[in-house]
């Protein structure tokens, strides 16, 4: 049994912007350990704090057997375009082809307070962009094209009934990159 239940689309916590981490203590370290267990149990390659109901800016990840955590991540630069089939533990069972920048330059901090300065591309860049979106209260459904969104409404109906939450609408029309 995973330590945390992963919040599912419709849960308002997933739409809130998370606050900066200002304090690293034993409670945070324990939470992070539990988030790794929850992520591996799912299984997934990334899990952001809001997905377990914690409004703080950090996420855990492991896409190449090198587990990591980044606090207060910021994308300082992004380049290119990359289309990739993307899913989310908070939108279980569904995935869509989504275009995002191919390369990103990310800054943040590790648990010891050291600054992280990362150049990422392809899959790692995708994972980081997805998780950083969670810290902004943005789910992947907000990156869908109009056509994908119409199909998503049908697919999400079952989830919506199960979770009794509202179907999320994009905050801003055309947010993110448009498909051609
Ligand atoms: Zn996600």
- Closest to 58 (Cα-Cα) out of 18, 92, 91, 87: 18
- Kindly state the average pLDDT of the residues 101-105: 98
Catalogue the active-site residues. 131
Helices and strands, number each (H, E), in the chain = 3, 7
Residue 63 in tokens: 């896409």
- Closest to 139 (Cα-Cα) out of 166, 117, 121: 166
Ligand 1 center–CA 44 separation, angstroms? 9
Ligand 1 center–CA 134 separation, angstroms? 7
pLDDT of 178 strictly over 50: no
Q: Which CATH class is domain 12-162?
A: alpha beta
pLDDT of 141 strictly over 90: yes
Handedness of CA 3, 39, 106, 149 (dihedral sign): negative
Mean pLDDT of the chain: 90
Per residue in 60-102, pLDDT (tens digit) is 999 999 999 999 999 999 999 999 999 999 999 899 999 999 9
> Cβ distance 27 to 159 under 8 Å?
no
Check residue 166 and give its pLDDT. 55
Ligand 1 center–CA 80 separation, angstroms? 22
pLDDT band at 156 (very low <50, low <70, confident <90, very high): confident
pLDDT of 46 strictly over 70: yes
Share of the chain above pLDDT 70, in %: 88
Check residue 78 and give its pLDDT. 98
Residue 50 in tokens: 């809001």
Check residue 155 and give its pLDDT. 85
pLDDT of 162 strictly over 70: no
- Kindly state the average pLDDT of the residues 31-44: 96
- CA–CA dist 56, 135 (Å, integer): 7
Ligand 1 center–CA 25 separation, angstroms? 25
Ligand 1 center–CA 119 separation, angstroms? 21
Domain range annotation of the chain: 12-162
């Amino acid at each position: 049994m995973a330590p945390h239940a992963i919040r599912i689309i419709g849960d308002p916590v997933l739409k809130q912007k998370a606050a900066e981490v200002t304090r690293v203590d034993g409670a945070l370290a324990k939470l992070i350990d539990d988030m790794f267990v929850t992520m591996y149990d799912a299984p997934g390659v990334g899990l952001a704090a809001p997905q377990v109901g914690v409004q703080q800016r950090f996420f855990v990840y492991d896409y190449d057997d090198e587990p990591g955590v980044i606090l207060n991540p910021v994308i300082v630069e992004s380049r290119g375009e990359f289309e990739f089939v993307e899913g989310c533990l908070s939108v279980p069972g569904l995935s869509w082809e989504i275009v995002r920048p191919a390369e990103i330059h990310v800054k943040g901090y590790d648990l010891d307070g050291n600054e992280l300065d990362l150049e990422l591309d392809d899959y790692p860049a995708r994972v980081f962009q997805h998780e950083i979106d969670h810290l902004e209260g943005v789910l992947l459904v907000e990156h869908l094209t109009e056509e994908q969104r119409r199909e998503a409404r049908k697919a999400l109906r079952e989830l919506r009934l199960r979770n009794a939450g509202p179907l999320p609408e994009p905050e801003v029309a055309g947010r993110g990159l448009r498909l051609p």
